[in-house]
Each structure stands twice: as structure tokens, then as C-alpha cells.
A = this chain, B = another copy of it.
Amino acid sequence: MSATSQSPQRSTPTQDSVRRQNLGALLRYVHVSGDTSRAELTNQLGLNRSTIGALTADLAGAGLIDEGAPQETGRAGRPSLVVRPRSSRVYGYALSIEVDRLRAARVGLGGKVLDSRELPRPAGTAVRDTVSILAACLHDMQRAAPADAVFVGSGIAVSRMMRHTDGVVRMLPPGPGATGAAGAETRAGTDLGSALGLDRPPMVGNVADLAALAEHTRGAAAGLDNVIYLHGDASISAGIIAGGRRVTGHGGHGGEVGHMVVNPQGRECGCGSRGCWETEIAQHVSLDRDAVLACVEAARLGDPTARTAVGQAADWLGFGVANLVNIFNPTAVVFGGALRELYLAGATHVRGRLSTMALPACLEHVRLRTPLLGDDAPLVGAAELAFERLLADPLETAEP
């Protein structure tokens, strides 16, 4: 028998796949941008008016968008119809397992939070032990959801760190049969999926990656294609967007910028190495949110020890950012979590390090920013994951 006759006979891409692609592109645009005129869709998607009309009719028929007259613009002529994402017909679940808390939300198209729960994460609770708590939240929200609303997917943000019962925050230990945090993440996804009876497990990412996705989609780095989002949360990890795409590495473990060694003579780090970036910062100001806030406030009130500490921590912050700028040539660096306050208090030090250590060509277009979505970023990013399948194939996925 020849190899040919054994090969699977997959279907040929047809007009259908083009239509599906266009439906997804239009729905994604409206999901991210909110109310959009048909004229803008015509421009942005490069499709003609009759095609846009046919696509919006299909999406409206499926209950995914509404069309209506725009707000009065004062311009003459017939105004273009406005397309709005409809948040009630389909929903996803967004979950976030952070160092200190657990969050769950039911989110509608357009990113609208329809329902949400937040609970503390007890110290010493491993990711897998949070599953039953989150499952109870979801069951609760599911009962409150309208009977005709369609569930389209879920996403979950998992912190690589946990607070142990001794109060110390450490990286998640590798578990049996899986490696490190990603192993825990994958297990959490699978466990949650089965605990909830979902027909597909949640899509899983780490907190920094999903906060980066959120700020890139709807926040401080919207419209920018090369972004480093730094998440300070006991440790420092990065969510990296390069060329408009998430850089997560082979096993999803990339972005461990906190363990970039910047000082061979530095302090021992919990990872077993010495002089890691996060350790050098933390020897001056602990990367715990409350500790940063307290130190920054003391510095603001004139405490000389606190001022020195903030200055030195911010100097190290700039040191590592300069390295990342040389590696990634980004257009934005976003300081998230505990790093927000440190950056705001020590921006002069950060900029000083950048100007002496970053190559001019790499630094030229870099903007330093704080998050627009604040603490919601990981949850918003998880919601973006939840809608991925719908936006790839709107009509099929939205079917009850």
C-alpha cells in the first residue's frame, strides 16, 4: 500500500474558512475596541461595505453583536451604523490564583465583568488545593447566569509564587510527574476542568504573562507590539510581547527575569543562585506590596534610611530594565504589581540607569508606564484567554 492512501483526507480550505476568519477578525475588533462604526470596520479590516454588512448580519443573528445608530456627531450626512459587542449572550470564566488571593469572574463579550468573587488564599495552600474553592465560586456564578447564556471557554492566571505557612513567599516547588509552576498550572487547569464538568479545560497562563496580555490588549500598552510588563509580587517576572505576540518559551516558563543574575558578588537567592536581579532589589526594599508602600511613604515623609533604600532599589530596578531594553528593543516597559510604587518613587534612578546602560538605538522609543488595569490585569488577561476559541470561530462556538 502506498503512503498516499494511508494519509488522512482533510478538507480543503474553502470560502467557509475565509468567512470564519473574517467573522473572527470583526468580532475580535469589536470585542477589544467596543462600539465601532461600520466605516471604521471597513477601514481597519480591509473589507468592502457589503462584506462587512454580511458579517455583521451573521454575528447579530448569532446574538454576538448589536447594531444601532451612533451618538449624535454634529456631522452632516447619513451616519455609519455602530456595532457593539453584546455581553449577555456568551460568557467566559476568568480565574486568578495569586499569592494572597483567589479571584473568579464571569465575563461577557467586550470584556464586561458580569459577576465576580474574591477570596483570600490561605497561606500554604498549593495551587491544586485552591481548585475546590474556585470550583465552588464557579458553581455559584453558574447558577446565577441566565439559562440561555452560552459558556464559551475559560482562562486561568496562576502565580508561580506561593506564601508558605511560615509567611515566606517562595516559588512553587516542582510536583511529581510535572515540572515546576507550569506543571502546577497544567494540573490546576485539568483539575478545574473536571471539577466543573467543563467539556474543555481552562487555558492556563502565569500571572505576569496574562497581565501583559491584558495591558497589551486593553491597557497601558494597547497598540504597542513590543512590550515588557514587569510584575513585582514577592519576586519579579515578566510578561513579554514581541512583534505583537506573547513570548512564553518552550514550556511556558520564560520571563523569569527576576533570576537574571546582575551581580556575581550579590546576595544568595532562594533559587540557589547569587545576585539575582530581584534579590539585589529586595535587599533594599522587600518586593512585598505592603512593604514597598510603607517604605515609599516613609521616604516621602523624609525618613533618610527609607529614602536611601528606595533610591538604591530603584537604581537596581533600572539596572535590570536596561538589560531587558538591550535584549528586546521594546516600545514600552510597564511596571506592575509592587514595582509600580517603586518605579513612581524612584523614576529618576530608573531613567538614570537606562541612560547610561541602555544602547541609544534600543532605548530610543521606549516609554516607561504604569498599568492602566491595576490589580485586575491578570484576571482581564485570563478573560482574554477564555474568549480565544470564540474569536477563532464565532458562529460554531456560540451555538447553544
Contacts and interface: CB of A to CB of B under 8 A. Distances in A.
Contact of A326 (B2, B256, B322): B256
A245 B179 CA distance: 25
A301 interface: no
Interface stretch (A39-47, A84-92, A162-170, A379-387): A39-47
A322 to B, nearest CB: 7
A372 to B, nearest CB: 20
A76 interface: yes
Interface in A87-112: none
Given A181-B361, A254-B328, A2 B264 contact: no
Contacts of A226: 249-250, 254
Nearest to A79: B2
A2 B330 contact: no
A143 interface: no
Given A22-B13, A250-B331, A251-B361, A263 B263 contact: yes
A262 interface: yes
Interface in A208-250: 225-226, 238, 242-243, 245-250
A273 interface: yes
Given A10-B47, A247-B242, A357 B4 contact: no
Interface of A: 1-15, 17-18, 21-22, 37-40, 42-43, 46-49, 51, 75-80, 174, 179-182, 225-226, 238, 242-243, 245-257, 259-265, 271-273, 319, 322-324, 326-331, 356-357, 359-362, 364-365
Given A180-B361, A251-B361, A254-B362, 17 more contacts: A2-B75, A4-B38, A4-B42, A7-B42, A7-B49, A9-B49, A10-B48, A14-B15, A226-B254, A243-B246, A245-B245, A247-B247, A250-B330, A250-B365, A261-B322, A272-B356, A327-B327
20 contacts: A3-B39, A4-B39, A4-B80, A5-B77, A11-B48, A13-B47, A179-B364, A180-B361, A249-B362, A251-B329, A255-B329, A256-B327, A256-B362, A260-B260, A260-B323, A262-B262, A263-B263, A264-B319, A273-B357, A324-B327
